[in-house]
Amino acid sequence: MMNKQKVAQTGNLPQFYRQRFLIAMIQVFHNKLSKTDLMKFLFLYNQIYRESKKIYFFVPYQYGPFSFQAYADIRRLTELGLITGDESLNSNTAELYLTLLEKSDQIYLQEFYKIYKSYSGDNLIRFIYTNYPYYASKSEIRERIGTNLVKESSIESLNIDAIYSLGYEGITVDEYLNALVQKDIKTVIDVRKNPISMKYGFSKKTLENALVKLDIKYLHIPELGIESKDRQELSTLESYNTLFDSYEKDVLSQSDVYVQKIVSEFKDQKRIVLTCFEKDHHYCHRSRICNLIESRYGIPTKHL
């Protein structure tokens, strides 16, 4: 058996802990997991053993809980030749990757296998739908699985209609998408000048594709953005506010047609969100857009 040092020398050791965990789970299940079962087991493990420090985050999707990040990792690990297979995923370094995990995960993953090894396919999905009904809220197979087993979801559809705002700084794409689903958002309006991100999931094409799969519309209004070069020297809230004051004067005051586009989308969809990078809306120009819309049109705005 290869030791850890030899594996590291190959240069193929996955970059992220979550990727090592993913391979370890495949191996612990003796290379007999389909992609669908792997996704469901990753979800279940995180819910049971990783509630406070999750390895992956999940959103309600066509067949239940789904992680866009985990799916991207599966593709990446396949490209690296570390896992193979379509129907059944395979790896040939079973014990090794388990030893690369934190001690607690080594213990819990083996325990998890003993408890859930008999689950697969529909009975695994049925178990998850029954115990985590929120993640069945967008399922396309509820009838086949048994709708009587699925309780009401926790999507907050009764919240007040509003224009929300949300930045993706510090969260994964799955956490971001889940926040939208929970608020029953119908349209995401991207107000970045250049919708490109080094962070997985947030460049325009990738984000739009994920949103469409969740039945959420995507609109990009670059005319309401700020050039990235104008932000580079900012460090304090005061410096940001100085920039945003200029933004209101030079951009927003000349952008009635684009602001009206947001208002029209709200009137049509009722629950929309303005999105950009910054977590704290005070450090993002989307706050000024919200302020203008609320004062001019009386539409409530909320920052997530």
Where in the chain are the domains? 4-149, 162-303
With residue 275 as reference, give the H or E element that holds it.
Answer: strand 271-276
User: Could you report the per-residue pLDDT of 182-198, keeping only the tens digit for each?
Assistant: 999 999 999 999 999 99
The 10 Å Cβ neighbour count of residue 265 is 18
149 vs 270, residue with greater confidence: 270
Q: Mean pLDDT for the chain?
A: 89
User: Could you report the per-residue pLDDT of 111-155, keeping only the tens digit for each?
Assistant: 999 999 999 999 999 999 999 999 998 888 888 887 555 555 555
Distance CA 298, CA 281 (A): 19
With residue 219 as reference, give the H or E element that holds it.
Answer: strand 217-220
Angle between helix axes 35-49 and 103-116 (nearest 10 degrees) is 120
**Taking a C-beta distance cutoff of 8 angstroms, is the pair 161, 57 a contact?**
no
CA end-to-end distance (rounded Å), the chain = 50
Q: Give the pLDDT score at 154.
A: 53
Whether domain 162-303 has CATH 3.40.50: the reply is: no
User: Could you report the per-residue pLDDT of 24-42, keeping only the tens digit for each?
Assistant: 999 999 988 999 999 999 9
DSSP 79-126: HTTSSB-SSSBB-S-HHHHHHTS-HHHHHHHHHHHHHHTT--HHHHHH
pTM: 0.88
The letter for the amino acid at 265 is: E
Distance CA 67, CA 177 (A): 10
